[in-house]
Amino acid sequence: MTEPDRGPHPHPGMPRWLKVSLIALAVIVLVFVLLSLLGVGPDHGPSRH
């Protein structure tokens, strides 16, 4: 049985640019969901017309 990420050179983890991008994306999605729940902004989704 192997433990590939616990050897002499463990995996350094997620790079900072990706963490920042994911946080920014999460904030944007959260704002979008909140606006949708509050009924602000256009209707969305396929075949909405």
Residues making contact with another protein (CB under 8 A): 4-5, 7, 9, 11-12, 14-15, 17-18, 21, 42, 44, 46-49
Report angle CA 28, 33, 39 to the nearest 5 degrees. 125
Closest separation between CB of residue 24 and another protein, Å? 11
Closest separation between CB of residue 37 and another protein, Å? 17
| Cα dihedral across residues 37, 41, 27, 22: positive or negative | positive
Q: Which is nearer to another protein, 1 or 44 (CB)?
A: 44
Query: Rounded to an integer, what distance in angstroms lies between the CA atom of residue 24 and that of residue 26?
Result: 5
